[in-house]
Structure 1
Amino acid sequence: MTSGLLVKEGQALPLFWRYHLMAQPEAASASPMDPLCTASSGPRKKRPRQVGASMASPPHDIKFQNLVLFILEKKMGTTRRNFLMELARRKGFRVENELSDSVTHIVAENNSGSEVLEWLQVQNIRASSQLELLDVSWLIESMGAGKPVEITGKHQLVVRTDYSATPNPGFQKISQYACQRKTTLNNYNHIFTDAFEILAENSEFKENEVSYVTFMRAASVLKSLPFTIISMRDTEGIPCLGDKVKCIIEEIIEDGESSEVKAVLNDERYQSFKLFTSVFGVGLKTSEKWFRMGFRSLNKIMSDKTLKFTKMQKAGFLYYEDLVSCVTRAEAEAVGVLVKEAVWAFLPDAFVTMTGGFRRGKKIGHDVDFLITSPGSAEDEEQLLPKVIHLWEKKGLLLYYDLVESTFEKFKLPSRQVDTLDHFQKCFLILKLHHQRVDSGKSNQQEGKTWKAIRVDLVMCPYENHAFALLGWTGSRFERDIRRYATHERKMMLDNHALYDKTKRMFLKAESEEEIFAHLGLDYIEPWERNA
């Protein structure tokens, strides 16, 4: 089922498509001319492992006498191995059917260097220190270039050492808490994390909190790893990977994809909820209602005369094409200019900080969040957002807004719920961003349209609570885990408003995020290292 909505240039590839593409290891590395690049209709059939497979082949001229290749069948399969052997020989490479002392390079697919060495030991073959253990990508690139390409780190298979009494001793130091791990945008395990995020999203649609947390924590810890998981041995000592999670990892390693994820992606309920919740203002209850009523497309929903939509949902449908597309960093910065101009027109001493994913260094997002604070009077703060809204209305920039008044109480204890919303005054808006403010938007302009609708959240917090609000609104799993850490490890309570020490029975003041980390006994982690 499709929604009829195409992915445009510059728009993020949906998670389920990215997972499907990454779940084809052969297609990702093979030549476009490789007839084996096509995806199979089911899990790979297991074949008996062999040391070498003889094949009838006419003689070919050998161009590169100093290289003697052996292609490992393990995890590759006989058919693909034979094809690559024949293709390499046609390109002038010397490829041996059997492993011998003359072999200089072993080429493998979906194997680590450690696994290749273990295989050699089983065959009672001792590896020479001069033997190169290479990923099949090196051979593919070399055949494409018509000559051996330079061997770099990305081609060399990693041999992990010190698998003694306690496997992977260094990995055991990985904390279960994201606030004790540095997580940049360099994710080496996309094929696993994408799978777990799909399963987590499906659990959220089913309101299964336990499964949701299980899958999200697994994805979070895998994002922090500085290496790619290529065997189950690599998972030893890593927290948050229970039996269910490890079964899925093992299946992806063996078959290139998860059958459970595949079933979810093909599930009509998941597809419908994914589509419905992409509309601004539509949550799980509304999605459930529409699904039970038999709706499967947005066009049918919008054309149904019996349905009543909220003001937010009407805006969501009206500006759907813009809102479902990505907001680029350039667009976010252009919105930042509009926000600062409006805020400073009424509160020149106000601090305006872009938060959320863009503060964590992301290049694209779905909305732009700003935290606003001022050392001035509380009355000035209360009146700021209404004044900004009125200004944008006069300028014709405001397409939608929902102003939520503050319910903040100064000395109220922090919430025990890690996912609770704060009580600050906030405004959820849709702004009209004209294209001349950002060059990168021009490629996505609809014909005759000179602006794009952008989702913007403004949060107004008291000056003395600014550090706590900034930490919270920077977001990701990191923010939830630092609250968990405070509760379970430090006997403290933390939310967007304050930090409370239950042992000392007192609020702990902080003027910066660094001070909050210090109160918790944590090393400070930069915003761009919080992409958990």
Structure 2
Amino acid sequence: MVPLKRRKLVCSDTGNTGTDSRGQTKFPQVVLFLLERKMGTSRRAFLSQLGRRKGFQVEELFSERVTHVICENNSGDEVRAWLDSQSGGRAAAHLLDISWYTESMRALHPVEILDRHKLQEPQISESEVAVFSVPSYACQRRTALDNYNTTLTEALSILAENAELSEEEGRGVAFRRAAAVLKALPSPVTSVSQLRGLPCLGDHSLRVIRDILENGASSEAESTKESERYKALKVLTGIFGVGSKTADRWIRDGIHDLHQLRASEQTLNRSQQAGLEHYDDINQPVTKAEADAIRGIVEKAVNSVLPGAEIVLTGGFRRGKVMGHDVDFLITHPQEGREVGLMSKVVSWLESQDLLLYQKTTRNSYLESKDGPGRPASNMDRFERCLSIFKLSKKEEPGAENLKTVTENKLGRHDHGLWRAVRVDLVVSPISQFAFALLGWTGSKLFERELRRWAGHERGMSLSSHALYDNNQSRYLRASSEEEIFTHLGLDYIPPSERNA
């Protein structure tokens, strides 16, 4: 539990010291302390004054003199953890429910302590409490999709997202790293004491964890979810092409929802216009079946213009997710150089079939000889890519066998009952960089960040989605597979399904 702020002891008259009119202590062997946690400041002050008027010694601060700790709505293990956190805490103090205190007030003396007055403490020895241990970097840990601490990780993720939307990247990363540690644990966390010595768990994250363990939910995470600013940022950044800076500017202009944005005179660029038009579809989760259907379309498009090319579904779906917010594909060709100019041909084919609602294509701007390992400040790669919005048939989830029906019918833009809009990213990589691109585009985002941090801090290397560069030897380390990259980094290989940090 979070230690309570210590208050100065105020002694204003003899009535506050638990003495009678002759200055003698009525019950010298009983020294009470009321725990403010869950009781509240005002109620604690009232009950303390009541006890003193009845002749009891009620301490303002916890000390070794305290013989009875009075609690309200606290469990025994919560209070014991709080006592252990206090310097000079006494294990011998009675931990009592408020009922003992009120009965003693009515009786005008300390009543007998019965079992019903005692806080129930689990009889677990220190050796029986599992203390967890995990490696410091997420890229050293195996993290499956499901974890044992979803209540904790979801609260931390909300706080991370709120920090990121508020342009507080450092705080966001701290919460993400804390959540990643909890995701990797082999069993549920039942006590903060189990987390002793674990990496990446700062004071703020530990306060959130304590709050959940003690109260069932994080008050900070809940208040964040309900805040008007957070809800507005979520809605506005849900528009394709709108980042947190743009959303923040709109909020300062009084725009908090889509209706207000549409009614405003804000100038939207082409991607934002498309994002607003197809907002509901884009913010609806994409299923694995829909991703597979889009893969069939992409394969038909690529093979029609470059036979022999390879297409890999990346992102969360490669890590085993059954739902996602978009679909990412990595495309290459076994012969170096054959992939040059491929994207424009693929996009032309898709547009000829009326399957794109929006697209923006960028050229490959990475030159190894000039750029070195290629790590821009944003860690964005510089492959040839197409950011697009696909038009996907709703009539059935099309696979390769019925693509002919989908493409030949050329679904009309206004027949929205027959199709839905889906965000799709297409990325083209030379085969020499394909292993690095595949690793980078598989994710998770934090796993990739931790890989780069490990490479730099622990190995003296620079890693990007283009290359791995050994700064000590001043040379590139080539790789034709993800396994080779892990070997270069001195890490055990972790398959995509266990990179869900």
TM over 0.5: yes
Letter in 2 for 1:201: E
- CA separation of 1:49 and 1:186: change in aligned 2, threshold 3 A: closer
Shift of 1:382: 2.5
Identify the residue that residue 460 of structure 1 maps to in structure 2. Answer: 428
Identify the residue that residue 209 of structure 2 maps to in structure 1. Answer: 249
Root-mean-square deviation (CA), in Å?
2.9
Q: SS state of the match for residue 182, structure 1? A: coil
Q: SS state of the match for residue 456, structure 1? A: strand
Residue 47 in 1 paired to residue 16 in 2?
no
**5 Å matches for 1:505-516?**
505-516=474-485
Identify the residue that residue 494 of structure 2 maps to in structure 1. Answer: 525
Identify the residue that residue 326 of structure 2 maps to in structure 1. Answer: 367
Shift of 1:179: 0.7
Letter in 2 for 1:519: H
The whole-number CA distance in structure 1 between the counterparts of 2:73 and 2:483 is 57
Larger of the two Rg values belongs to structure? 2
Q: Is the 8 A contact 1:355 1:473 kept in 2?
A: yes
The whole-number CA distance in structure 2 between the counterparts of 1:408 and 1:218 is 34
Identity of aligned residues (%): 43
Letter in 2 for 1:116: P
Deviations 1:359-393 (CA, angstroms, capped at 9, x unpaired): 00001000000000112352x42321111111111
Shift of 1:284: 1.4
The whole-number CA distance in structure 1 between the counterparts of 2:442 and 2:97 is 43
Shift of 1:176: 1.7
Q: Is the 8 A contact 1:418 1:480 kept in 2?
A: no
Q: Is the 8 A contact 2:318 2:496 kept in 1?
A: yes
Residue 342 in 1 paired to residue 313 in 2?
no
Shift of 1:410: 2.4
The whole-number CA distance in structure 1 between the counterparts of 2:294 and 2:74 is 58
Q: SS state of the match for residue 382, structure 1? A: coil
Identify the residue that residue 221 of structure 2 maps to in structure 1. Answer: 261
Identify the residue that residue 273 of structure 2 maps to in structure 1. Answer: 314
Shift of 1:161: 3.7
Identify the residue that residue 470 of structure 1 maps to in structure 2. Answer: 438
Q: SS state of the match for residue 185, structure 1? A: coil
Identify the residue that residue 272 of structure 1 maps to in structure 2. Answer: 232
Shift of 1:235: 1.2
Shift of 1:353: 0.4
**5 Å matches for 1:371-382?**
371-376=330-335, 378=337, 380-382=338-340
What is the TM-score with the length of structure 2 in the denominator?
0.72
Letter in 2 for 1:257: A
Deviations 1:427-457 (CA, angstroms, capped at 9, x unpaired): 00111111244189xxxxx997111111100
Q: Is the 8 A contact 1:401 1:430 kept in 2?
A: yes
The whole-number CA distance in structure 2 between the counterparts of 1:395 and 1:510 is 37
Alignment coverage as a number of residue pairs: 385
Q: SS state of the match for residue 449, structure 1? A: helix
Q: SS state of the match for residue 286, structure 1? A: helix
Q: Is the 8 A contact 1:203 1:209 kept in 2?
A: yes
Alignment partner of 1:410 out of 359, 368, 374: 368
Residue 497 in 1 paired to residue 455 in 2?
no
- CA separation of 1:376 and 1:422: change in aligned 2, threshold 3 A: same
- CA separation of 1:450 and 1:348: change in aligned 2, threshold 3 A: same
Identify the residue that residue 188 of structure 2 maps to in structure 1. Answer: 228
The whole-number CA distance in structure 2 between the counterparts of 1:461 and 1:263 is 44
Shift of 1:303: 2.3
Shift of 1:419: 4.7
The whole-number CA distance in structure 1 between the counterparts of 2:495 and 2:465 is 18
Q: Is the 8 A contact 2:336 2:431 kept in 1?
A: no
The whole-number CA distance in structure 1 between the counterparts of 2:357 and 2:384 is 20
- What are structure 1's unaligned runs of at least 5 residues? 1-41, 52-73, 79-96, 100-107, 122-159, 441-445
- What are structure 2's unaligned runs of at least 5 residues? 1-36, 41-70, 77-94, 100-113, 400-413
Letter in 2 for 1:463: I
- CA separation of 1:231 and 1:505: change in aligned 2, threshold 3 A: same
**5 Å matches for 1:186-197?**
186-197=146-157
- CA separation of 1:272 and 1:510: change in aligned 2, threshold 3 A: same
Q: Is the 8 A contact 2:359 2:387 kept in 1?
A: yes
**5 Å matches for 1:70-469?**
116-118=122-124, 161=127, 168=131, 171-172=132-133, 174-304=134-264, 306-376=265-335, 378=337, 380-411=338-369, 412-415=371-374, 419-438=378-397, 449-469=417-437
Q: SS state of the match for residue 403, structure 1? A: strand
The whole-number CA distance in structure 2 between the counterparts of 1:50 and 1:230 is 13
Shift of 1:162: 5.7
Q: Is the 8 A contact 1:406 1:425 kept in 2?
A: yes
Alignment partner of 2:454 out of 485, 488, 493: 485
